[in-house]
Amino acid sequence: MSFEDNLAELEARITKACEKADRQTPPELVAVSKRQPDDRIEAALSAGVRVFGENRVQEAQERWAHRRLQYPDLKLRLIGPLQSKKSEDAVALFDTIDVLDREKLCKTLADAIQKLGRSPELLVQVNTGEEEQKSGVIPSELDKFLTGTCPGYDLSPVGLMCIPPADEPPGPHFALLAKMAKRYDLPQVSMGMSGDFETAILFGATHIRVGSALFGDRDS
């Protein structure tokens, strides 16, 4: 199937999920372009897609830095773990960083924002499944992180992001994330991928991050 066919099918599924959820406003589609070949990236741009998600800073620089000039309305989101030493590069390239999850990163991002005079939107990643190997603030520490740590560095996150455990139904994780975002009056709720975006829409995702369902399988 062509990219345009994939996009049309995905949009139809999003519309249907919104109807089922009785939602008037569809979520924003973040096209996850990591490890995708150039011809698919170009097809996405030709189809009018402008919001892309990437999980590695260097790979994103290589894919997008030169395209920024050609597509000034491009919006790039960092959705993969960020090493603090890459903070400056991330602030320079991304419009939104979905993965703020620790004090050290607050510090290095705040320094980079100050230095570069550029302020990407920030989302806090929440480890809703409290998985050892996964990044993200655990739910019981979110209050302290949002009301103490972030303001301490003059950072005001605009939303929450999560990746539910692979081996559990995602619904309860999405419900928890949406509830926490509401409690702190945060407008962005980034959740749902190719396998579970319809469930995420049902639970109030404002941003869904879809890779393989849109582009096809990626290089491993």
Ligand X SMILES: *Cc1c(COP(=O)(O)O)cnc(C)c1O
Q: Between residues 60 and 110, which has the closer beta carbon with respect to ligand X?
A: 60
Of the ranges 7-15, 57-65, 171-179, 191-199, which one interacts with ligand X (CB under 6 A)? 191-199
Question: What does the DSSP assignment read for 34-73?
Answer: TT--HHHHHHHHHTT--EEEES-HHHHHHHHTTHHHH-TT
**Does residue 80 touch ligand X according to CB under 6 A?**
yes
Sole window of 66-74, 150-158, 177-185, 192-200 interacting with ligand X (rule: CB under 6 A):
192-200
The answer to whether the beta carbons of residues 32 and 59 sit under 8 Å apart is no
- Which window, 10-18, 136-144, 151-159, 208-216, contacts ligand X (CB under 6 A)? 208-216
Query: Please, which of residues 162-181 interact with ligand X by CB under 6 A?
Result: 163
Taking the C-alpha atoms of residue 91 and residue 115, their distance in angstroms, rounded to an integer, is: 10
The end-to-end CA distance of the chain, in Å, is: 20
Give the CA distances from residue 172 to residues 33, 113, 129, 164, 177, in Å, rounded to whole numbers and listed in that order.
27, 35, 10, 9, 9
Structure-block tokens of residue 161:
């992001």
Q: Is 32 in the site for ligand X (CB under 6 A)?
A: yes
Q: Is 55 in the site for ligand X (CB under 6 A)?
A: yes
Does the protein bind ligand X through residue 194 (CB under 6 A)?
yes
Q: How far is the CB of 213 from ligand X (least distance, A)?
A: 6
7 binds ligand X (CB under 6 A): no
Measured from the CB atom, is 132 or 185 closer to ligand X?
Answer: 132
Rounded to the nearest angstrom, the gap between the alpha carbon of residue 112 and the centroid of all alpha carbons in its chain is 20
Q: List interacting residues with ligand X (CB under 6 A).
A: 32, 34, 55, 79-80, 163, 193-195, 209-213
